Amino acid sequence: MGPWLGLAILMAASSASPAPPAPSPPSPLRLEGLDRLYFVRVSAAERLTAPAGVSALLPPTIARSARLANPASPDDVSVRDVSLPVPGWPRPVVLRQVVLPGARIDELWLALYDGGRRSEVWRFQARPDLTDGKLLPNYRISDARPGDGGTLVLDLAGSMYRPQGGWWVHGRAVTLAVRGEALVVQHVRGAYGFIHDYDRGGDADPPALSVMAEREVEGRFERRELSPVSLAAIRACGGDVEDDQLEPGPTDLETVAACVTRDPRSKVTWRRLDEPSFAERGYKPPD
């Protein structure tokens, strides 16, 4: 290689543009919109205002390999880590669920961990004085899964059993999407609902059992509700009621509810995707 060629290569290398710096990692992921479902934001990343027993279970950082023991009985505090498949997010995201059982109303705590670091905490209690007087269930996270169009779906399952035989069992599918550096609630679908009326005594007819199911149809939610429903109809669809409690049997409850409400006697109503459901603030009954 001649001296002039070597000099040309050296000058070209020295004049080449430097590689652009790597993009900065995003700030800690936030969780927005759970207040629509009557959750209360307890804290951001820095400080946690919670009972000592809860604070110990929601530390500032968690190890990805942490193993959590199952509660020995329904009266024990339960802790569960749920991995969230957040679309396009560069760090692993975990939602830690802590349930403090009560005499009838439980306390649900949800802490969001981004890359193992706590970013914020939410709490829920199905107390009518906190839910605009609505009778809601005790929620649990049953699943977190990818949704359509780059979304994430958080499945909530809940139940409430009260004196005199009144009970209700519900499932909510909460769709979330990444907006900037936040995971934001988009809409809530009532996946299933089973409601058993109170036994008021003296009535000629037994307490009514009603079933509802909701699905998305062409950009709207179709809600189907049937009442009264016989135990035979529930059993025929794969569910069962034993000892005055609903049991899923061999089929999941969403499938059971969809099966029952295919009955042509079901009442059908519609709502927009952005219209609040009964479980949300701002709900308005259909006309």
List CB contacts of 212: < 8 A, sequence separation 6 or more.
Answer: 190, 192, 193, 195, 223, 224, 225, 226, 257, 261
Question: How many Å apart are CA 118 and CA 31, to the nearest integer?
Answer: 11
State how far the alpha carbon of 74 is from the alpha carbons of 10, 103, 175, 285, in Å.
74, 11, 29, 35
At a CB cut-off of 8 Å and minimum separation 6, what does 254 contact?
Answer: 171, 191, 192, 213
pLDDT (tens, 9 = 90+) of the chain, 287 residues, equals 565 555 555 555 555 556 666 567 789 999 999 999 999 999 766 678 888 889 999 999 998 645 555 665 566 889 999 999 999 999 999 999 999 999 899 999 999 999 999 999 999 999 999 999 999 999 999 999 999 999 999 999 999 988 877 899 999 999 999 999 999 999 999 999 999 888 777 666 777 899 999 999 999 999 999 999 988 899 899 888 776 677 666 679 999 999 999 999 999 999 999 999 999 999 998 77
Give the pLDDT confidence of 156-166 residue by residue, as tens digits.
Answer: 999 998 887 78
pLDDT in tens, 81-95: 999 999 999 999 999
Nearest to 208, CA basis, from 264, 168, 149: 168
Q: How far is CA 71 from the centre of its chain?
A: 21
Q: What is the pLDDT of residues 103-154, one digit of tens each?
A: 899 999 999 999 999 999 999 999 999 999 999 999 999 999 999 999 999 9
